[in-house]
Structure 1
Amino acid sequence: MTVETSSSGDAGVRAGAGELAVAAAVGAGEAVLSRRFGSAITLVSPEHLVGSGPATVVRARVVSSSFALPRTLVVKHYPDQPEPGHGDPFAQEAVSYQLFTALAPDERMCPELLAHDGKDRVLVIEDLGRAPTLQDKLTTRDSRAAERALLSWARSLGRLHASTASREADFNALLRRLGGPARIEEPDLAARTAEVPPMLAELLGVTVPDAVHERLAAAVAQAKTAAFRAFSPAELSPDNNLVTGSGVRFLDFERGRVRTALVDAACLRLPFASCPDALALPAGMSEAMIAAWRAEVVSVWPSFADDTELAEQLTVSELLLVWLITREMLPRLDLTRHATPVSREAALVTWWRELAKHAGYARHTDVAEHATRVAAALGARLGPHADLAFYPAFR
């Protein structure tokens, strides 16, 4: 016999499951805090902070105790073990917070880690309050506030890189101590980029010249080099950044790792490109963000004081980023209808056009010409409105 449930019944089941997850997170948070401070600590008034990751995230109030704990804190509980062969988001987040908590407060671009436990898979971190996110700033109608927030984000990203540029060994040691691998393995970039030329040929009728293949090989090699390595949050979503009075602070390190900082810096040219709802920024904004980032990192990487050298390195990294995004997006796009200005189709056209422009500035003529052909082929299929719209703050 088939039993039908109403939508209200489904909602009730989901609510019940959510309440159980919150209770489990609170219990795990109380346990780790009690062990950390040697006395029972009670958390009350839990507020479920719903996110897209695997953790249950709860803001809770601390019942008065003799310890110098803040009035409220945030508990992140990872009840499920990672899938075999996949990274462990709990371990990566815990180690990321440990790395930053060991730094001086003015170098800490994230909340402070108060307690954690690998057995219970729980983190307790400082509550930065109800500050707006960078996404909030981009979706209001205040362009100046959005501009200030973006520049603060770029400066904070630079400070994050500068303060962790020599900390890869520390990160890996913390990861091993928590039972993780010796280091987080990067994806096979050569194999991934090799998937793109057949897509471009089949879907767009564009072939890739040998010179561009060589540029891609250089970009893959750059991503693997020991130069310019620093901690990266990996998920550079505007939702994961709080705009506080002390500057932008990063949240959610479930994919945190050490890699070349140029991957993140390329995202200043194609802001939030990995996000499904990424939109465009006005002319000059990306250049201002790169200048803000460079001001923070030039002390540890002096070669970036040279405009030509910086443009060269950023263009190589941007080329790799656009190819990896194309690998993910192009097979999923609908190339049979005209794109709207807020679609992923329009985003991909815009990012290829940006690559063509920046490659031209860096005198990578072969890349600029190829990127122009790809953008034109996309535009021919997607229609005259395949230009990515600005974020609401800049409309």
Structure 2
Amino acid sequence: MTAIAEQHLAEVLATGEALLARRAGSSITLTDPEDLGGTGRSVVVRARLLDNPLATGRTVVIKVLDEDAPTAPFLREVAAYRYATALPNQSRPGPQLLASDPASRMLVLTDLGHGRGMVELLGENPAAARRGVSAWGQALGRMHAATVGGENDFDALLRLTAGRGTEGSRDEVATQARAARDGATALTARLGMELPPRLADDLAAGCRLFAGGDLRAFSPSDVGPENILINEDGVQFMDYEFGAFRDASLDVAYALVTFPAYLAEGSVRRRVDLETQLVDAWRSEVQGLWPSVGSDASLARLVLVARTLWVWLSTHWMVTGGTGGHDWALHTSDARLVLTRWADLADAARRAGDDELLDAVEATERALRLFWFD
């Protein structure tokens, strides 16, 4: 247990007991706390329920936001968990919200257990990686399919939780993406090049996927490997601080950009095979709702736009030194990893036969390589 967690442990448990008792209508006792680490701006504790009138398992997870952390992500996370908790069990993408309290900035969630992390599976043998990636794609698709048409419900929960017009109602991911788009001309100038028109067009199109797009569905937002656990119930997505409705292609592309960094040593062919497996697994779950994804060419184009945006955003963060205060799976301080993402994007453009995008991506990759390593 960390020193900070030890200092506040009794208070955390007492507040958690009070919140759960309010829901259960009877006293609750929490014991045997286990520090789960948190994100650097929160304390996350697993605790055992001595008696559980809620029938939610033997343990719960308590997340408490630090006093100096912004409140807006907490309010959005509460709304996102409320929305996801209301979904049918088989479609629920992660833990269930049991209780929340804006005053103490606390969430009490069902415990997903230990399971196995996606990072672990990707780093094992090829068979384990294939199983993990396929399950990941299917889980994304099931979540998207289950939430199509639910945007008004989510927006109502967000207004109820965060208040109309407050910071909590702002989609921080979209804000970060627009900032990266708006800074593209200045950033490429630092690299000694002009912003390729095709790259500018795709960044603009990628930003439009947050507020528009034909494949509208719920997303926890940061759906990278670090936020995925596989337990007996399947793939579970964690960390809903920036949950929102957006075009589902953003989630698919986010997965494609973030998973290669965790693969054990292997060939480019293996990465491409895993990409195909993830996309096909996702498509198998949503094609009945969105027939347009059945076209390989149309889907490849849509995913390329979203992928370009994510690769650019990770580059923007790397060069400018910002992430908006969040430990994103997309974020890295490793320039070589950023260059690898550009190389992977170039390979995807090449396989899609998109020569214009390929030229823009290769020019940017060369400029970045000279900027960092020459």
Normalising by the smaller structure, the TM-score range is 0.7 to 0.9
Number of residues of Structure 1 aligned to a counterpart in Structure 2: 355
- Is the contact between residue 22 and residue 48 of structure 1 (CA under 8 Å) also seen in structure 2? no
Q: CA deviation at 1:372?
A: 1.4
Q: Is the 8 A contact 1:60 1:74 kept in 2?
A: yes
8 Å Cα contact 2:224-2:254 kept in structure 1: no
Counterpart CA distance in 1 for 2:262 and 2:55 is: 41
| 1:24 to partner: Cα distance | 2.1
Alignment partner of 1:100 is 2:84? yes
Is the 2:119–2:262 Cα contact (8 Å) retained in structure 1?
A: no
After TM superposition, the structure 1 = structure 2 runs for residues 313-328 of structure 1, keeping only pairs within 5 Å, are 313-328=302-317
Distance 1:246 1:233, change over 3 A: same
Q: d(CA) in 2 for partners of 1:78 and 1:343? A: 25
Inter-partner Cα distance in structure 1 for 2:231 and 2:338:
32
Shift of residue 92, structure 1, vs aligned partner: 1.8
Q: Secondary structure in 1 aligned to 2:61? A: strand
Distance 1:22 1:146, change over 3 A: farther
The residue type paired with residue 237 of structure 1 is: G
SS of residue paired to 1:283: helix
- 2:182 aligned residue: 194
SS at match of 1:80: coil
Aligned pair in 2 of structure 1 residues 235, 215: CA closer, same or farther (>3 Å)? closer
Pick aligned residue for 2:103 from 119, 139, 146: 119
CA distance in 1, matches of 2:227, 2:370: 35
Contact 1:232 1:259 in 2 (8 A): yes
- Cα offset for 1:25? 1.8
Aligned equivalent of 2:205, options 218, 227, 252: 218
Q: Does 1:268 align with 2:251?
A: no
User: Which has the higher Rg, Structure 1 or Structure 2?
Assistant: 1
TM-score, L = length of structure 2? 0.85
**Deviation sequence 1:97-138 (CA, Å, 0-9, x none):** 211211111111212222223333322211121112112223
Partner of 1:282: 271
Deviation at 1:363, TM superposition (A): 3.7
Match of 2:290 in 1: 301
Contact 1:22 1:56 in 2 (8 A): no
User: How much has 1:209 moved relative to structure 2?
Assistant: 3.4
Q: Give the 3 Å change call, closer, same or farther, for CA 142–262 of structure 1 in structure 2.
A: same
Partners of 2:102 and 2:239 lie apart in 1 by: 17
Specify the alignment match of 1:337 in structure 2: none
| Runs of 4+ with deviation above 4 angstroms | 188-191, 277-281, 379-384
1:168 corresponds in structure 2 to 151
Which residue of the partner structure matches residue 158 of structure 1? 141
Cα pair distance change 1:120/1:306, threshold 3 Å: same
Higher mean C-alpha deviation, range 61-70 or range 368-377: 61-70
Amino acid at match of 1:55: S
SS in 2 for 1:103: coil
Q: More displaced, 286-295 or 120-129?
A: 120-129
Aligned-partner Cα distance in 1 for 2:66–2:256: 37
* In 2: Cα distance, 1:67 partner to 1:383 partner: 57
In structure 2, the CA distance between the partners of 1:208 and 1:170, relative to structure 1 (3 Å rule), is same
Q: What is the correspondence of 1:204-215 to structure 2 with a 5 Å cutoff?
A: 205-215=192-202
Q: Deviations over 1:219-266 (max 9, x none)?
A: 333443252222111222322211112211011112222222221111
Partner residue in 2 for 1:336? none
Q: Which amino acid aligns with 1:209?
A: P
Tell me the secondary structure at the aligned position of residue 206 of structure 1.
Answer: coil
Q: 1:68 aligns with which of 41, 48, 55?
A: 55
Matched residue of 2:116: which SS? coil
Kindly, what percent of the aligned residue pairs are identical? 34
Shift of 1:50: 0.6
What secondary structure, in the 3-state scheme, does the structure 2 residue paired with 1:151 have?
helix
Within 5 Å, give how 1:327-338 maps onto structure 2. Answer: 327-331=316-320
198, 201, 224: which one aligns with 1:237: 224
Q: Identify the match of residue 170 of structure 2 among 184, 206, 209.
A: 184
SS of equivalent to 2:51: coil
Whether 1:40 and 2:27 are equivalent positions in the alignment is yes
8 Å contact from structure 1 (residues 161, 297) kept in 2: yes
Do 1:242 and 1:250's aligned partners in 2 also have CA atoms closer than 8 Å? yes
- Distance across 1 between alignment mates of 2:102 and 2:225: 29
Match of 1:370 in 2: 360
What is the alpha-carbon distance in structure 2 between the residues aligned to residue 145 and residue 116 of structure 1? 36
Q: Return the alpha-carbon distance in structure 2 between the equivalents of residues 288 and 122 of structure 1.
A: 38
Residue 39 of structure 1: SS of its match in structure 2? coil
The 1:41–1:251 alpha-carbon spacing in structure 2 relative to 1, beyond 3 Å, is same
Q: Who is 1:143 aligned against?
A: 126
**Residues 303-342 of structure 1 deviation map (CA, whole Å, 9 limit, x = unaligned):** 101111101111111222222222111356xxxxxxxxx9
RMSD: 2.8
Letter in 2 for 1:153: W
Range moving further from structure 2, 317-326 or 221-230: 221-230
| TM-score using structure 1 length | 0.81
> Counterpart amino acid of 2:181?
T
